[in-house]
Amino acid sequence: MTSTDPSRLTLARYALAGAAIATLALPAFADEDWRKLADQRPPREGQIWRAGSTERSTSHPFLGENVYLQSWFPLSAFPGGNTTANDCWGYTSPSGRRYAILGLRKGFGFVEVTDPKNAQYVGYISGATSLWHDVKVLGHYAYGVSEGGLGIQVISMANIDNGVVTLLRNQSTSGHSTTHNIVSNPASGFLYLAGANVGNGGLVAVSTADPTRPNIVGAWTTHYVHDAQVVTYTSGPYAGREIAFCFNGGFGLEILDVTNKSSMTKISGLTYPWLSYCHQGWLSEDRKYLYVDDELDEGTKVWTTTTRVFDVQNPGNPIYLGSFTSGRQAIDHNQYTYNGRIYQANYRSGLQIFEETGDPLNPLHVGYFDTVPEDDRAKFNGAWSVYPYFGEDTILISDIESGLLVVEFDPRKLVIEPLAAPEVVGPDNTSNTVTVLITGDGTDVVPSSVMLHASINDGPEILVPAIDNGDGTFTASLPPAPCPSHIDYYFSAQSQTDRTFTFPKNPAQTKPRVLVAATSNVVYEDLFTSHGFNGWNFGDPSSPDTATTGRWIKMVPNPTVAQPGSGYTGEICWVTDGRAGENPQQYSVGGGKTTLMSPVFNLNGAVDPRVSYWRWFVNGIGSEASNESLTIDISNDGGWTWTNLEVVNNASGQDDGGWFYAEHRLAGLLPLTSQMRVRFVAADYPLAFTTVEAAIDDFRVIDVGCTFCPADYNTSGSADVLDLLDFFSDFGLCFDAPLPCGEFGNPDVNADDTVDVLDFLDFLDFFGQGCN
């Protein structure tokens, strides 16, 4: 719809115009805030956030929801030249002071986290060089192992409160050298080795009767054990028995009775659908359920992080119940339970926190802290493990690349929502206010902290305090800017809990944008609200399509890990076959490229046109491939020759789903003609086993100018009857009302800070003169 669409000439506006002409004045609409008459959609520049949207801190490169960074010890904070980190565990000294133990490529680091916001380095113990280290604690001893050898490193923490940790010895018995994981059972005082070079890689029992000289006393040697949790039952049929829940790779879950170390026996075992590599798991605190992660299924057999759930109330007869998911693509790695919550370290999606609900298959996802915010791909880097047992204010995360992170779970938050925001503001600084609604969830906003952060043409940030309107809304004025230009902005607000929240929730990645112009005219717009094609075409006469699956179609897409469940502003959008198959690849773009072309639009005589749209793109689920792309081009000869606007691919950082806004200024890019059109080309590398999905919504072409004509009240580019009607509408709305005011423009024509009959007479004079 263009600005001269006759459908805008409603009877109500004719009536309003007649009343205004008859009376030369109208009272302001009582108790009606002009800002609430503006477009209520979210700002058209920025990202719309998927389920589990994020808060971005401006002081660190991580993302989170309800989880906040307290302290960060990168790899460089530890001696030894370590290039990776691995496992983590914790220790509380008799004095109550708390310490983190971090596995590193060449040893173990010790950090005091008693004050989680001011963690302090304590010491470092050198060890074997390996990507894999593991550590557990019994008493005041830390027992470290590694795939690199040295047996069990026995580390005394008896004097840790004085800043001293001591390697007592590298203990090796029965030829033991390398180990993948070490397990502790504080109730029995035994350690267990998993994946060691002794005992056929099975579960090896280690006595700590002499805690300084741990000694192998038995083993279950049937086959390899990757990891385990060992507990002692105090009631029920297994009272007094020590039971090991073993996670055995391709063998699945196996449960052992390890009470008798010289005769450890298997009492049950179970696999599950889509078993790839049963990696690790942990019991619920009531020991009714077992949560299991499979390290090799994501991206090959399942398409989102999948936690398997078993009923183990009878360890001799476990029952597979099903699974739940975080909805991310990442691989799950290690998880633990504490105080009714499940804490998961899931590689590239970081820490994920679930709250148990009584239904083990439907825990509530209550927070996360993403240590690799670029994407959630199914790759082996990011968060390795988590230690939640210090409580929700001191949660430890070990990250392969980032080292040790101390975070806090705090569900209290502020929600900042846009109410009124202009898309275009005039160079005279009119209609330049932005309003947001701030609501608290468990906390309240500090009103004086609400700020608008603005940047003109990507320049330095300008801070503008927001005005408290007294009803939960806050309004700020965008700074004056030259014409033509653009202003990017975001809001920040501090809570009573001393947290900072923003809108958008990740302003470092994308922010709303406002154009500065004297005139603006919508040349072409299609919000894709109906199923008709409206002149959009498939294919490309200059380069035939080759994709065999996933061709463009206009529909309501089915929500999957790769595609949205709707368009950006409505249900319908253009999407590369929006059906949901048995796996994400089934209907994704495959075997080549597929092209969507806009109708031809006329830019003859345009002053400063812009083309904009919202796009969604997913590239590479289930593959390391990075050759797939979404390419957007523009033509000025109806589609025979093309000029590139952008390429969205692996290098763009916007190829992992989510709606993103794109806007391109066309002046100077190519000659403007009456035969303009845009194409969207989604392409899949033919030999890649991967998923490529694209979607487009809210396509728009707008022309802006810097020459102002007072008669062109609605800045459409020409003076016509609509300008008269729009002025009458705003005049009635804003007569004697507080400024700024106006839905279509600024009715304070003579700029005397009030809307009265003189403005009406001045506008009639301007309208009579018209625009040259």
Q: What is the pLDDT of residue 665?
A: 92
Which of 36-45, 373-382, 719-728 is the least confident region? 36-45
DSSP 6: G
Q: Which whole number is the average pLDDT over 184-188?
A: 97
Q: What is the pLDDT of residue 34?
A: 21
Q: What is the pLDDT of residue 58?
A: 35
* pTM attached to this predicted model: 0.77
Residue-wise pLDDT for 531-541, tens only, equals 889 999 988 88
Beta carbons of 381 and 330 less than 8 angstroms apart: no
Q: What is the chain's mean pLDDT, rounded?
A: 87
Q: What is the pLDDT of residue 505?
A: 83
Q: Which residue has the higher pLDDT, 605 or 136?
A: 136
Distance between CA atoms of 334 and 305, rounded to whole angstroms? 12
Q: What is the pLDDT of residue 569?
A: 87
Checking if the pLDDT of 378 tops 90, the result is no
Beta carbons of 71 and 135 less than 8 angstroms apart: no
Q: Which residue has the higher pLDDT, 671 or 377?
A: 671
Distance between CA atoms of 390 and 163, rounded to whole angstroms? 20
Distance between CA atoms of 647 and 652, rounded to whole angstroms? 8
Distance between CA atoms of 480 and 456, rounded to whole angstroms? 9
Helix, strand or coil, per DSSP, at residue 53: coil
Q: Which of 625, 636, 716, 641 is closest to 668 using CA atoms? A: 636
Checking if the pLDDT of 582 tops 70, the result is no
Checking if the pLDDT of 584 tops 80, the result is no
Q: What is the pLDDT of residue 361?
A: 97
Kindly state the tokens that stand for 390. 């210090």
Residue-wise pLDDT for 64-88, tens only, equals 999 999 999 999 999 999 999 999 9
Helix (H), strand (E) at residue 659: strand 659-665
